[in-house]
Structure 1
């Protein structure tokens, strides 16, 4: 379903998609710009949206805001997309100054993020942390196990042990590479460069058999299109979805649902795709995962 010049056309999973099921799960469209935060303090406002294995924590902050995790069970991710943002990250006695336009992976244990400028930050935390998971207002979509998604299994630990790892997003674009992809034991994050509106004659409808995709819009707006497979029971057929989401917003796409997203703002659109755990097909593409040397593939 990809155009021939789309880098994803070479994926081993590009042709998959047989065997629709009667249970797909539900989509989520979380429009943070029109809903109140789930948490609010004098120096931060926080919105939460979950998937089966992950929680997106989007925060508007002022300098000095501090986010602590005690006894964190697994790695989590800090995304500072704005260049004028900065933070101090502490973890298990280690301290690192983190600049803007970066992605930082924070190890298990005790940690803290202290924000050093006004702006916004994004934290990605797995659903192995019940206190964070409970904050997401779309939790009713995830009562019990998911019929299409295997039980969560983290990827192997880094060979040189747990530590803070920060990566600049200032990575030159490269023909044939799909975005800017980083992975850890719990997440894969693909940060796309800013782009104008998409040519609607070159969309890329496709589906994923056994994992969700989370698309976080940070600039501009996106049209998210989803088509649910027909199954034998017509009573379970669903209408297509065509949802306009401004930024900031999150769209969670269930497995087996045909989908494509179109950046639509005439000036600048920025999308971040999030997967938990990491995708094997992206990991199998040489050169796609920019920090692959730090994290072994299963």
Structure 2
């Protein structure tokens, strides 16, 4: 159950999912405590993945360049803090993203050039096989998670082919959960975080039936609490997990584990949560997805046929 005043308690429950017969463990990547998978004079990049998503976390200086040729599907560039600036070029033109923001980059050729340094994230589906092979935890996904639904992209954006940039500094609004943006492949929720430890009597344990949650710790120190259900086959039971990991790091939280993340640092604790593909339940809440007019939801299957 969610904690006090947690708006996610208003989400409609999902039903009809067959009971699981086996589980996958969570996967963690401590970027602060491992060497980067890619390194140049102006950028250090760590790569980790889940079943559907690749997270590329980079510490960059001005002049760093990230180029994709023949990119298979849309990806996201996330500037996690103010003061960072990049130029994103595709054949149709160049746009600038600055301060806390997210850009959705269409498939094909693209180039990201850092103007003002800091930290950036690039988020790809695992269809980018060259990046998937470089991930620090690639071996963990040699066997797929039986509880994750097959990846299906959502519809293309409305209008012309271009890079779409959105600010992550939108003011909070009563009744709206976070600052949520979706593309055709990825959804991101910007959180403000909180200063000081999260109260132990106000956590928000919950589960997802058939999709992963990618919790990217940007600041602070976290304990990720996970519990898997018991099923009739006790050989598939998994012990509770209470993984303590600092920032920057990634936690890939598998379904249907009950989970909650507890910031424990005395300073700022801040997570960015992402999902691949976008979440239906968040998307169904009026006003929660800030760019919903640009990225339509899929038609129900019975209407699409």
Aligned twin of 1:31: 30
Q: How does 1:209-220 map to 2 (within 5 A)?
A: 209-220=209-220
SS, match of residue 140 in structure 1: helix
Contact 1:171 1:180 in 2 (8 A): yes
Aligned twin of 2:207: 207
1:114 aligns with 2:113: yes
Q: Distance in 1 between matches of 2:18 and 2:200?
A: 28
- Render the CA deviation track for 1:270-289: whole Å, top value 9, x for unaligned: 11001000000000001100
SS, match of residue 207 in structure 1: coil
1:270 aligns with 2:270: yes
- Render the CA deviation track for 1:24-53: whole Å, top value 9, x for unaligned: 222111111111111111111110110111
- Render the CA deviation track for 1:69-100: whole Å, top value 9, x for unaligned: 00111111001112111011101231011112
Q: CA deviation at 1:5?
A: 2.1
- Render the CA deviation track for 1:75-131: whole Å, top value 9, x for unaligned: 110011121110111012310111121111111110000011232111001111101
- Alignment size in residue pairs: 297
Aligned twin of 1:51: 50
Contact 2:85 2:117 in 1 (8 A): no
Q: Distance in 2 between matches of 1:124 and 1:109?
A: 15
Aligned twin of 1:190: 189
Structure 2 runs not aligned, ≥5 long: 299-305
SS, match of residue 122 in structure 2: strand
Q: CA deviation at 1:261?
A: 0.4
- Render the CA deviation track for 1:188-243: whole Å, top value 9, x for unaligned: 00010131222211111111010000000001111100011111122222111111
Contact 1:20 1:256 in 2 (8 A): no
Going from structure 1 to structure 2, the CA distance change for 1:161 and 1:93 (only over 3 Å counts) comes to: closer
TM-score, normalization by structure 1: 0.96
* Mean Cα deviation higher: 130-139 or 3-12: 3-12
Going from structure 1 to structure 2, the CA distance change for 1:118 and 1:203 (only over 3 Å counts) comes to: same
Structure 1 runs not aligned, ≥5 long: none
Q: How does 1:111-190 map to 2 (within 5 A)?
A: 111-190=110-189
Contact 2:29 2:136 in 1 (8 A): no
SS, match of residue 9 in structure 1: helix
TM-score, normalization by structure 2: 0.94
Misfit runs of 4+, over 3 Å = 15-20
